[in-house]
Amino acid sequence: MTIWQRLGDLICSLPGSCTLGRALDDLIETVRTMLSGSPEDRRQVAFSVSMIALSAKMAKADGVVTRDEVTAFEQLFDIPAAEHQNVARLFNLAKQDVAGFDAYARKLAGLFEPGSPVFEDIVDGLFHIAKADGMVHQDELAFLDHVASIFGIGEAAFARISSRHIVPEEGDPYLILGIDRAASNDDVKRHYRRIVAETHPDRLIARGVPAEFLAIATAKLAALNGAYDRIRRERAFA
């Protein structure tokens, strides 16, 4: 059974949820309790709910959900045609307003270990949607900053994540890679190889990111590769 089938079954098992009549908060509590006996399913479904709902609220953060943002959401998720309706139910429920996103993010933060890399994966995905209309609006950036702080992502780490998305080709490549400008060529190479390995799809799956969401890794790798290429050309090393 795919992650979408499990999520669809979960949504439609709740009274009224298939007509969007049940509060999102109730759905999250159900995720926490119904899947408590299956850590792997619990982690993957929780990540799915987190990304779908926070993506919808991210799109609503500047007041309007645009077609570009919906398209970006669809790019981020590999959704089988048969499951579009199930995912749309949750997305539409969440996008009604931005209210409550902070409490919702706190609930999701409790589903993973403190400091888990999965929180950065989520913020990366939200940035992908935020920039879909050509820029990250101030209200969207404030939304992202607040979600990141709830997840325990500090200011320096958030700046590094932001730099991968806000005009990365013009940003500081050292900030994008998260390495000091004074690092040696060998240190830069080792650091780059390590963070690329950490971004490999197999690593994402190991920390509870469903295979359907691996477009997150592709987008992140593109930014990391671009930054490394700029440093390599600047320093003229192979």
Write the pLDDT tens digit of every residue in 25-53: 555 566 555 555 566 666 666 677 777 77
What's the CATH code of the domain at 72? 1.10.3680
| Burial class of residue 105 (count of CB atoms within 10 Å of its CB; 0-12, 13-18, 19+) | buried
Q: The domain containing residue 34 runs over which residues?
A: 3-172
Rounded average pLDDT over 44-68? 75
What percentage of the chain exceeds 70 in pLDDT?
A: 74
For residue 133, is it within any domain? Answer: yes
For residue 217, is it within any domain? Answer: no
Q: Is the pLDDT of residue 171 over 70?
A: yes
The pLDDT of residue 37 is 54
Rounded average pLDDT over 202-219? 76
What is the DSSP secondary structure assignment for residue 64, as one 8-state letter? -
| Res. 20 pLDDT band, cuts 50 70 90 | very low
Q: Is the pLDDT of residue 24 over 60?
A: no
For residue 186, is it within any domain? Answer: no
Count Cβ neighbours within 10 Å for each residue of 8-29 and write b for 16 or more, e otherwise. bebbeeeeebeebebebeebbe
For residue 112, is it within any domain? Answer: yes
Q: Is the pLDDT of residue 14 over 60?
A: no
The pLDDT of residue 19 is 46
What is the rounded distance in angstroms from the CA atom of residue 14 to the CA atom of residue 25? 12
For residue 21, is it within any domain? Answer: yes
Please choose, from the candidates 61, 43, 58, 56, the residue with its C-alpha nearest in 3D space to the C-alpha of residue 3.
Answer: 43
The pLDDT of residue 145 is 95
- Count of the separate structural domains present in the chain: 1
Please choose, from the candidates 145, 137, 228, the residue with its C-alpha nearest in 3D space to the C-alpha of residue 187.
Answer: 228
What is the residue-averaged pLDDT of the chain? 78
For residue 223, is it within any domain? Answer: no
For residue 201, is it within any domain? Answer: no
Residue with the bigger pLDDT between 201 and 22: it is 201
What is the DSSP secondary structure assignment for residue 168, as one 8-state letter? T
The pLDDT of residue 81 is 76
Rounded average pLDDT over 106-127? 83
- Count CB neighbours of 176 within 10 A: 23
Give Cα separations from 101 to 69, 79, 118, 169, 233 (angstroms): 18, 23, 18, 31, 42
Please choose, from the candidates 208, 175, 179, 207, the residue with its C-alpha nearest in 3D space to the C-alpha of residue 192.
Answer: 179
| Res. 21 pLDDT band, cuts 50 70 90 | very low
Structure tokens at 73: 């959401």
